[in-house]
């Protein structure tokens, strides 16, 4: 735990807290960082082993964590996980939505099944977590929701993935709608738009079918496209999430924060 302990006494419900591959995904890094700042963390993931791996990391550092497996695109699963979290820790103060997927293709190339799958995972999941967590926060008269969106909600970064772009734009507006409705209840809702990132999900999705040399070449191109000269990583997103979840952002709601190394200030062509 850090000296500041900005989340001391809080309970954080983190979705997608596992990682799709070796390394640090956004949810995994956020769960560990929240715990380091004093929060008890509910680590949820569709992969039970991945959820437990993150929870174990928290416990190894002396934090409190509960690992829960479930599909958060299913209402009954979300309702059960929220109930379990409340039973274990007494409530939920922070909801951090990290679950997301990316599938390539424009409106002609992408199948209807692909479109529906991306929208369900990226948007419906956040609707459902809000649906079941918000009543808990209303009862507590306090809460912070942090949703992970993407800069593709407002711009293009190269590949064509119409469902991903549309879903992330929906996440932004979902966040604003929740923020204005629940501000009178002491609940804040904000979103983070990561730019070009180097995470296990991105490498697995965009690097599918590539050789190791091709993947490295892709990474170099993406690094060069960033004004900062490098892609961001999960810790960049986690630190932004910590700010938005903490009392440092007590008067911040309905905001969409780009964490992109300046990418949205320029046109990325690569």
Name all domains of the chain by residue range, CATH numbers in brackets.
11-198+233-261 (3.40.50.720)
pLDDT confidence of residue 164: 96
* pLDDT band at 182; cut points 50, 70, 90: very high
- Would you list the DSSP string of the chain? --SS-TTTT-EEEETT-S-SSSS--HHHHHHHHHHHTT-EEEEEESSHHHHHHHHHHHHHTT--EEEEE--TTSHHHHHHHHHHHHHHHS--SEEEE-------B-TTTS-HHHHHHHHIIIIIHHHHHHHHHHHHHHHHT-EEEEEE--GGGTS--SS-BHHHHHHHHHHHHHHHHHHHHHGGGTEEEEEEEE-SB--HHHHHHHTTT--HHHHHHHHHHHHHHSTTSS-B-HHHHHHHHHHHHSGGGTT--S-EEEESTTGGGS----
**233, 199 in Cβ contact below 8 A?**
yes
User: Which residues lie across from 160 on neighbouring strands?
Assistant: none
Strands 65-69 and 94-97: unpaired
Q: Is 228 left (phi over 0), alpha (psi -120 to 50) or beta?
A: alpha
Which pLDDT tens digit goes with each residue over 118-156?
999 999 999 999 999 999 999 999 999 999 999 999 998
User: Which residues lie below 8 Å from residue 3, measured CB to CB, with a gap of 6+?
Assistant: none
Q: Is 16 left (phi over 0), alpha (psi -120 to 50) or beta?
A: left
pLDDT confidence of residue 207: 62
pLDDT confidence of residue 268: 44
**How far apart are alpha carbons 251 and 11 in whole angstroms?**
20
Q: Tokens 């309970």 appear where?
A: 11
Average pLDDT over residues 93-114: 96
User: pTM, whole model, 2 decimals?
Assistant: 0.91
- Phi then psi for residue 233, to 5 deg, are -135, 180
* pLDDT band at 203; cut points 50, 70, 90: low
Average pLDDT over residues 167-180: 98
Six-digit token pair at 191? 């979103």
Q: Is 46 left (phi over 0), alpha (psi -120 to 50) or beta?
A: alpha
User: Is it the case that residue 213 has pLDDT exceeding 60?
Assistant: yes
Let me know the angle formed at the C-alpha of 98 by 44 and 118, rounded to the nearest 5 degrees: 105
**198, 154 in Cβ contact below 8 A?**
no
Question: Catalytic: 161?
Answer: no
Average pLDDT over residues 254-265: 94
Which pLDDT tens digit goes with each residue over 224-242?
887 888 888 999 999 999 9
Dihedral Cα 44, 59, 197, 16, nearest 10 deg: 0
R_g of the chain, CA atoms, integer Å: 18
Percent of the chain with pLDDT over 70: 94
pLDDT confidence of residue 84: 98
User: Is it the case that residue 2 has pLDDT exceeding 60?
Assistant: no
């Amino acid at each position: 735990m850090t000296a500041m302990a900005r989340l001391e006494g809080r309970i954080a419900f983190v979705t997608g807290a596992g990682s799709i591959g070796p390394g640090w995904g956004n949810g995994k890094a956020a769960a560990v960082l929240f715990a380091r700042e004093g929060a008890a963390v509910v680590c949820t993931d569709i992969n039970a082993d991945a959820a437990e791996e993150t929870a174990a990391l928290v416990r190894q550092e002396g934090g409190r964590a509960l690992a829960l497996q479930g599909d958060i695109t299913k209402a009954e699963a979300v309702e059960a996980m929220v109930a379990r979290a409340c039973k274990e820790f007494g409530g939920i103060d922070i909801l951090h939505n990290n679950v997301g997927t990316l599938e390539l293709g424009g409106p002609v190339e992408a199948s209807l099944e692909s479109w529906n799958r991306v929208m369900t995972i990226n948007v419906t999941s956040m609707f459902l977590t809000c649906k079941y967590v918000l009543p808990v926060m209303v009862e507590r008269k306090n809460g912070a929701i942090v949703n992970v969106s993407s800069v593709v909600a407002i711009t293009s970064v190269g590949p064509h993935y119409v469902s991903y772009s549309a879903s992330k734009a929906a996440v932004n507006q979902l966040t604003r709608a929740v923020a204005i409705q629940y501000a009178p209840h002491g609940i804040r809702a904000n979103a983070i738009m990561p730019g070009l990132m180097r995470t296990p999900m991105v490498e697995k999705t965009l690097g599918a079918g590539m050789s190791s040399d091709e993947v490295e070449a892709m990474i170099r191109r993406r690094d060069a496209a960033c004004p900062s000269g490098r892609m961001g990583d999960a810790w960049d997103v986690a630190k932004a999430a910590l700010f938005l979840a903490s009392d440092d952002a007590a008067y911040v709601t309905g905001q969409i924060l780009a964490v992109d190394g300046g990418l949205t200030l320029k046109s990325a062509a690569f």
